[in-house]
Amino acid sequence: MKNEIELKPSKRAKQIIVLARQALDGAEEVKTRTRTAIDQAARVGRLMSQERDAVMAAFGRRAWEPYFEAHFAPVISRRTAYHWMKLSAIALSHKTLDPRRLQIFLRAQIRGESPSPDNTPENIPDAASVTVVTHPSHLGLINRFNAWFHDLSTESKEEIPSDYAAQLLRDFKPIIDFIETLRAKVK
């Protein structure tokens, strides 16, 4: 009589082993992609901080927001950009990235996308320049209008439909009246 029992893995046990190996491989891939995404986000943050500093040095503090809206907002939210610039500052100061900070940055929509041919600097077309007015009392209004107009101009390659044009005329009536008042005073 034998005291030993031979336990062969069942079909389910084999399936568990295969799925567990796939899950472990997937978890390792997620770790790698997360590290890559964080590194890319920190690099973007560093470059964006440098760009912000250059724009503000050349055109003043108020120029950054319309510049950001015109050039970066279609790709990255302001909040995500802020988090990435903070991430860059942490990386530059050689601080460790604790798990709580990592969660914050992951929530800020860090995505590890592999670069496509359209994601190289050479393939990104130059956007139209953005006019930044330096008179503080109406700067925000003018810059928001310029950003909106830039978007309208680049999005609609065709003419503006007549019903939309009529709506714009109604909406802009107070501004048109104000401009006419200014013209009368300048003459």
Quote the pLDDT of residue 110: 47
Quote the pLDDT of residue 142: 76
List, for residues 8-67, the tens digit of each pLDDT value.
Answer: 888 898 898 889 999 999 988 888 888 888 888 888 999 999 999 999 898 888 888 888
Mean pLDDT is highest, among 90-104, 112-126, 138-152, 153-167, for 153-167
Distance (Å, whole) CA 99 – CA 113: 22
E strands, 4-135, in order: none
Question: Is residue 124 situated within a structural domain?
Answer: no
Question: Average pLDDT, stretch 140-149?
Answer: 76
Question: Is residue 59 situated within a structural domain?
Answer: yes
**Residues 6+ away with beta carbon under 8 Å from 106:** 34
Half-sphere exposure in the Cβ direction for 118 (13 Å, CA)? 2
Question: Is residue 36 situated within a structural domain?
Answer: yes
Question: Is residue 67 situated within a structural domain?
Answer: yes
Question: Is residue 157 situated within a structural domain?
Answer: no
Question: Average pLDDT, stretch 105-134?
Answer: 50
Q: Which of 60-64, 111-115, 142-146 has the lowest mean pLDDT?
A: 111-115
Question: Is residue 150 situated within a structural domain?
Answer: no
Question: Is residue 152 situated within a structural domain?
Answer: no
User: Could you tell me which residue, 152 or 171, shows the higher pLDDT?
Assistant: 171
- DSSP annotation of 25: H
List the domain range (segments joined by +) for residue 108. 12-112+132-139
Distance (Å, whole) CA 34 – CA 102: 10
Distance (Å, whole) CA 35 – CA 57: 33
3-class DSSP assignment, residue 181? helix
Question: Is residue 61 situated within a structural domain?
Answer: yes
Give the percent of the chain with pLDDT over 90: 11
Quote the pLDDT of residue 23: 92
Number of domains observed in the structure of the chain: 1
Quote the pLDDT of residue 121: 55
List, for residues 85-112, the tens digit of each pLDDT value.
Answer: 888 887 776 555 555 555 555 555 444 3
Pull the structure tokens for residue 104.
């914050």
> Predicted confidence band at 122 (pLDDT cuts at 50, 70, 90)?
low
